[in-house]
């Protein structure tokens, strides 16, 4: 009897719903898919963390610029003014 683990898989190359013995290539493909998903998820989280560290919230940037007396400020590479709705009218 074979010592290989049998898999029941929907993405079975021999047809869905069939027990089969995976080849090394099958196992390699499954592990690579899992690794790619993990890497993608980690990159997404890292991007969020980087943006939150590099760019404080708009409100924080606005209030700092306004309290320091600046008429304009930069946030995420764009230029904004420090006037409120009431001051614009």
From residue 19, give the alpha-carbon distance in Å to each of 10, 11, 35, 52.
10, 11, 24, 47
Q: Are residues 10 and 46 in the same domain?
A: yes
Same domain, 80 and 67: yes
User: Distance of CA 43 to CAs 32, 33, 53, 57, Å?
Assistant: 16, 15, 15, 21
- Report yes or no on whether pTM surpasses 0.95: no
Instruction: Find the domain containing 4 and state its range.
Output: 1-54
Measured between alpha carbons, how far is 2 from 69 in angstroms, rounded to an integer?
A: 77
Give the model confidence (pLDDT) of 28-76 as tens digits. Answer: 777 778 888 889 999 998 888 887 777 788 999 999 999 999 999 998 8
The number of residues in the chain equals 89
Given a contact cutoff of 8 angstroms between Cβ atoms, the answer to whether 66 and 58 are in contact is: no
Task: Say if residue 3 is in the same domain as residue 34.
Answer: yes
Contact indicator for 72, 79 with CB cutoff of 8 Å: yes
24 and 67 inside one domain: no
Q: Residues 86, 70: one domain?
A: yes
Query: Are both 70 and 45 inside the same structural domain?
Result: no
């Amino acid at each position: 009897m074979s010592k290989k683990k049998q898999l029941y898989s929907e993405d079975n190359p021999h047809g869905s719903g069939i027990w089969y013995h995976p080849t090394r290539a099958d196992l390699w493909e499954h592990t690579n898919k899992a690794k790619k998903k993990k890497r993608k998820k980690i990159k997404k989280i890292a991007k969020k963390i980087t943006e939150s560290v590099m760019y404080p919230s708009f409100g924080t940037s606005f209030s700092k610029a306004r309290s320091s007396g600046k008429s304009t400020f930069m946030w995420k590479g764009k230029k904004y003014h420090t006037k409120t709705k009431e001051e614009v009218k």
